[in-house]
Structure 1
Amino acid sequence: MTRRIVRTGIQLGVLLTICLTAVFFLDNHYRVLPQSIHSHLPLHHEGLVITDITVQTCSSINPLSVCKLDQDKWHRIEKDLYLNTGWLSKAYVHIKRKREEELTDDDKVILDIRTGKLDPATGEKAQQAEKWESRPAGIWLKRSAKRHASDSKKVVSSVDVLFGADAVEPRPGWEIAKPNPLLLETGGEVKEARLTFRRGAPHKVERPTPRIRADGKFKIIQISDLHLSTGLGLCREPEPKGHNGGRCDADPRTLEFVERVLDDEKPDMVVLSGDQVNGETARDAQTALFKIAHVLIERKIPYAAIFGNHDDEGSLSRAAMMSLLQSLPYSLSEPGPNTIEGVGNYFVEIAAHGASKHSALTLYFLDTHSYSPDERQFKGYDWIKPKQIDWFKDTSNSLKDSHKLYSHIHMDMAFIHIPLPEYAIPGQETVGTWKEGVTAPGFNTHFRDALVQQGIKAVSCGHDHANDYCALSKNEKSGEGELWMCYAGGSGFGGYGGYDGYHRRVRVFEVDTNRAQIRTWKRLEFGDLQKKLDEQVIVESGKVFSGQGES
């Protein structure tokens, strides 16, 4: 009997491994399993309301201890409140929910949520009709029978969990339960679990059409390598050394810098060019990603994102993060076709000013993946695949006829995370700082040539934090400039910056459609805060332009 049980257990284990492998393969290559993609995200079924909330704690060392309640009654939010770091305990938020039309006279709905030690009614001036009800981990619920149809806008309809003292909630209609995190022995601000909730039906998500301004200009700020964490984060090699008495919380300092530049430059769009999330320290990637999204949404700035090699080293896959970005206001991000490699191969059309429907500028975004799939032969990082290049060429060709209808010179740019091998060619004309080796792929699929062939005048990447130069790639035979290849420079204190005197920075591109010109410069986190560093014209009259004149 014992042998049969063991054999059956082994068979089940093998079957489970096969199933998980299949889920992993589909999620990373075809992205057709929405349930697996959203396994870490709350389920927001329209028409459902939350009737109760509780926290279930169990042992993390006892295999028989299960943190699940009756699944016919309770739905578990799949985030361990200890972020899988508890030596002895695990804990999960569970919710009861029902469709509004199925509520009975005995059911109660949640009108408000608070978190803390004391009854929120303590000190209230007026006697409330509904009492606050206590739940584990310091959760307080105000519940009532649903009386009118108008109550639908007031009742809690979705619940989630974020982490850290600096957690923010950018989703419209959502709020973080106040005033305290959940009362758990988590040991430190990083693992402070904060209940967040939405009332009523999902709110409309704003997705504006980016458009050239009345003066004919369009400004893009490229922010790369934010390396945001769950919690405040620890600074790596901040400059200048000893600034602020030696105290440096990575994420607050990074975001303060980004916010200042956004408010000064007032961009029309932001490009997040990878490593928004620092995988090692982003135990809840959703919390980390929400920080930069909140900054942009608050300012109503459209933004588009691609991923770097660290983004999916946290708790979410690329597909899950892209799905999350798509659900947020002002996001122009797209996963792209599921028939080619990567998540985030797409383009954004910038419309001409006024009511014109014509495109004045096209921005291409491609996923440069992560680490080399053949480390023995090609060490380091992955490369853009032939299918991606074919997609780019086909897409560009398909847009050319419509672009000819624009009354001015139509222009195109591209953004990637990992630099192309051509960034490392010595002797190129460069403007800016080259302080570290170019960590490009060891295998070259010649995407640079495809960019030139399709008329792209500038491509910009991230990845190497202490490089911020633009290099002019020239035709080998004629010597004429064909493509500017730029770096954004690292912006985040959660990522390395260990090159003496190197301050965090972002890159600005200003497109002037009246002159068919692209001008670029950088802004620093420290020093001369108003200075435009290494300002240069890279495109003039729709043609690549060098410091010595038109190329």
Structure 2
Amino acid sequence: MMTRRIVRTGIQLAGLVIVVFLLVFFLDNRYRVLPQSVHSHLPLHHEGLVITDLTVQTCSSLNPLSKCMLDQKKWHRVEKDLYLGSGWVKKAYVHIKRKREDELTADHKVIVDVRIGKLDPATGEKEEAAEKWESRPAGIWIKTSLKRHASDSKKAVTAVDILFGADAVEPRPGWELVKNGALHLESAKDSRDPRISIRRGPPNRHEKPIPKIRKDGKFKIMQISDLHLSTGLGVCRDPEPKGANGGHCDADPRTLEFVERVLDEEKPDLVVLSGDQVNGGTAPDVQSAMFKIIEPLAERKIPYAAIFGNHDDEGTLSRAAQMSLYESLPYSLSEAGPNTIDGVGNYYVEVQAHSSKHSALTLYLLDTHSYSPDEAHYRGYDWLKPNQISWFKATADSLKDAHSHYTHKHLNMAFIHIPLPEYASPDNDRVGNFTEPATSPAFNTHFKDALVEYDVKFVSCGHDHVNDFCGLSKDPTTGEPELWMCYAGGSGFGGYGGYNQFHRRLRVFEVDTNQARISTWKRLEYGDIGKRLDEQIIVDSGRVVPIQTSNQEEGA
């Protein structure tokens, strides 16, 4: 009897699950009840497909019966509301028709170009035979072609995406933003400046770069933290000095102008993006915000590794979705890491020696999560989990065995977003500003002890924007230096700052493998912009050392 009852209950539960699934599937097809983030994970850019038509469907956001979707058997919707939810009474979506390239016949048209705004085909761009411009809603013009020779494959548009903001950029190889600006929506005051991005031909393949020590034995790492980029120009918070540029301040352009200037002056070999690249609350389209820091790095062919802060995933894309995007971008070394441990972005980067494939440096990057999962007992921020620390130890053990065969002194370093509790220790010697309390986790899992045990020379974080010090932890028994704990300082005008005339900044580490030496300094957005601030040697002859002034001259 008991067995029959269990079987019957199981069948009933299975039936209920199927009914609920079908109901949700039906409602989502008709009314799009699932969140946008779910649809963002669905495949958008299929290989072997070409775009044959493109249009915009506008509908009422007040009408619950309005699905704002064209016939799904013919059209595919790009899952980004062109108003990004800000339209008072309207929403709108770009729709595309797609067809497999090998199924096209001579009478099938394909899109070979897209433009926005006024375009008179009679006097505009020269048309080739069998090509013509056609008008579509929202100021879109599409150029279609009937020619389907093999040489046309590179001309055909094969993917369409939407980015937002007057400062939108497109760092993906093979992609380009459509000319002449934003789409013309019916309610311009609600517009987020949506822009069409297109790809022609097949997707570009790119290999991960392999960072190597330079011929002179040096390797420079720039840590950029707390950019707080938005969808659109962004609003400056606490800009210093307040009267710069006549008091006018657009957050993201000013932030990126600063970063690009220092990139060109320092010429780093690797950039670490140490969290809060995106200001979740002001970035309804995370992709557009992310791309703004990727574009200058890709343009300069600088490899980069990213981890997350507590604000990155407060918008529409999860950590996993963002990391998947990072992994697909050019010059990215970023990885999701093992899915068997907590967090997204627990991984390491090896830097090879100049003349061999042997590792000279290892960078460990870990996800410090966001907010406390137990506010009743531990207010504030989350902490590194025991399984992350176990992963770090196992990985370090494995790499230590591999590095033991090399004759040179191998150097280890680590990057996180939220500072460790030991950052606030009054026993630390410090160089730099300690302007605000260290907002570290209230619960201590003692990751700092694991870093010391496995000979990591320094750990550097972000999070506290107006702290920029390096603090030296010493062995409590012997008083010997054991680990430098540094802050990058906040770089972005979209995040808070400005305390005590605190200017935005970022941190540079330079490794000299010939001397087994690590030096570090900061660069300012305003003021002594050509100087190295608080330059110091933190590792010498492979050993963590007390506070030392660098014997290098100041200057960029």
TM-score (norm 2): 0.91
Aligned to 1:274: 275
Superposed CA deviations along residues 508-550 of structure 1, whole A, max 9, x for unmatched, are 000011111110000000011111000000001111011269x
Aligned to 1:165: 166
Cα deviation for residue 401 of structure 1 reads 1.7
Aligned to 1:544: 544
Which residue identity lines up with residue 239 of structure 1 in the other structure? Answer: E
1:484 aligns with 2:488: no
Distance 2:251 2:322 in 1: 22
Which residue identity lines up with residue 510 of structure 1 in the other structure? Answer: E
Query: Do the aligned partners of 1:519 and 1:539 also contact (CA within 8 Å) in 2?
Result: yes
1:262 aligns with 2:263: yes
Aligned to 2:8: none
SS of 2:52's equivalent in the other structure is: strand
Distance 2:496 2:315 in 1: 18
Distance 1:47 1:256 in 2: 39
Q: Any residues of structure 2 matched to 1:501-540 within 5 Å, and which?
A: 501-540=501-540
Aligned to 1:182: 183
Cα deviation for residue 107 of structure 1 reads 1.5
Check 1:180–1:121 CA distance in 2 against 1; reply closer, same or farther (3 A cut): farther
Query: Do the aligned partners of 1:190 and 1:232 also contact (CA within 8 Å) in 2?
Result: no
Distance 1:71 1:17 in 2: 17
Distance 2:172 2:128 in 1: 32
Aligned to 1:377: 377
Aligned to 1:253: 254
Superposed CA deviations along residues 122-178 of structure 1, whole A, max 9, x for unmatched, are 344677652210111111111111421121111000000000000000000100111
1:413 aligns with 2:420: no
Q: Any residues of structure 2 matched to 1:113-124 within 5 Å, and which?
A: 113-119=114-120, 121-124=122-125
Cα deviation for residue 86 of structure 1 reads 1.0
SS of 1:53's equivalent in the other structure is: strand
Distance 1:249 1:116 in 2: 26
Distance 1:505 1:138 in 2: 41
Name the stretch that deviates more: 500-509 or 474-483.
Answer: 474-483
Q: CA RMSD in A?
A: 2.1
Name the stretch that deviates more: 299-308 or 114-123.
Answer: 114-123
Cα deviation for residue 186 of structure 1 reads 4.8
Aligned to 2:365: 365
Superposed CA deviations along residues 384-432 of structure 1, whole A, max 9, x for unmatched, are 0000000000000001121122331000000000000000111310000
Which residue identity lines up with residue 375 of structure 2 in the other structure? Answer: E
Query: Do the aligned partners of 1:207 and 1:331 also contact (CA within 8 Å) in 2?
Result: yes
SS of 2:528's equivalent in the other structure is: coil
Aligned to 2:312: 311
Cα deviation for residue 302 of structure 1 reads 0.2
Check 1:387–1:120 CA distance in 2 against 1; reply closer, same or farther (3 A cut): farther
Distance 1:240 1:521 in 2: 22
Aligned to 1:470: 470
Cα deviation for residue 249 of structure 1 reads 0.4
Distance 1:543 1:474 in 2: 13
Query: Do the aligned partners of 1:416 and 1:462 also contact (CA within 8 Å) in 2?
Result: yes
Distance 1:113 1:214 in 2: 46
Query: Do the aligned partners of 2:474 and 2:480 also contact (CA within 8 Å) in 1?
Result: yes
Superposed CA deviations along residues 326-361 of structure 1, whole A, max 9, x for unmatched, are 11110000000000010000000000002x010000
Which residue identity lines up with residue 138 of structure 1 in the other structure? Answer: G
SS of 1:390's equivalent in the other structure is: helix
Name the stretch that deviates more: 100-109 or 157-166.
Answer: 100-109
Distance 1:253 1:318 in 2: 26
Aligned to 1:330: 331
Which residue identity lines up with residue 335 of structure 1 in the other structure? Answer: A
Query: Do the aligned partners of 1:67 and 1:91 also contact (CA within 8 Å) in 2?
Result: yes
- The number of aligned residues is 524
Query: Do the aligned partners of 1:358 and 1:402 also contact (CA within 8 Å) in 2?
Result: no
Name the stretch that deviates more: 493-502 or 179-188.
Answer: 179-188
Distance 1:399 1:161 in 2: 42
Query: Do the aligned partners of 2:106 and 2:148 also contact (CA within 8 Å) in 1?
Result: no
Aligned to 1:102: 103
Cα deviation for residue 39 of structure 1 reads 1.6
Query: Do the aligned partners of 2:130 and 2:146 also contact (CA within 8 Å) in 1?
Result: no
Aligned to 2:11: none
Aligned to 1:460: 460
SS of 1:122's equivalent in the other structure is: coil
SS of 1:219's equivalent in the other structure is: strand
Aligned to 2:94: 93
Q: Any residues of structure 2 matched to 1:397-408 within 5 Å, and which?
A: 397-408=397-408
Which residue identity lines up with residue 477 of structure 2 in the other structure? Answer: K
Aligned to 1:26: none
SS of 2:362's equivalent in the other structure is: strand
Query: Do the aligned partners of 1:352 and 1:358 also contact (CA within 8 Å) in 2?
Result: yes
Which residue identity lines up with residue 275 of structure 1 in the other structure? Answer: D
Check 1:51–1:124 CA distance in 2 against 1; reply closer, same or farther (3 A cut): closer
Distance 1:99 1:274 in 2: 40
Distance 1:85 1:421 in 2: 40
Name the stretch that deviates more: 417-426 or 101-110.
Answer: 101-110
Aligned to 2:204: 203
Check 1:13–1:523 CA distance in 2 against 1; reply closer, same or farther (3 A cut): farther
Cα deviation for residue 19 of structure 1 reads 8.4
Aligned to 1:448: 448
Distance 2:157 2:393 in 1: 48
Aligned to 1:144: 145
Aligned to 2:4: none
Distance 2:546 2:392 in 1: 26
Check 1:19–1:91 CA distance in 2 against 1; reply closer, same or farther (3 A cut): closer
Check 1:275–1:222 CA distance in 2 against 1; reply closer, same or farther (3 A cut): same
Query: Do the aligned partners of 2:538 and 2:548 also contact (CA within 8 Å) in 1?
Result: no
Check 1:360–1:121 CA distance in 2 against 1; reply closer, same or farther (3 A cut): farther
Distance 1:548 1:201 in 2: 54
Check 1:510–1:346 CA distance in 2 against 1; reply closer, same or farther (3 A cut): same
Distance 1:447 1:13 in 2: 45
Superposed CA deviations along residues 199-227 of structure 1, whole A, max 9, x for unmatched, are 00011224210000011000000000000
SS of 2:176's equivalent in the other structure is: strand
Aligned to 1:7: none
Which residue identity lines up with residue 457 of structure 2 in the other structure? Answer: K
Distance 1:444 1:37 in 2: 35
Aligned to 2:132: 131
Check 1:492–1:389 CA distance in 2 against 1; reply closer, same or farther (3 A cut): same
Check 1:305–1:159 CA distance in 2 against 1; reply closer, same or farther (3 A cut): same
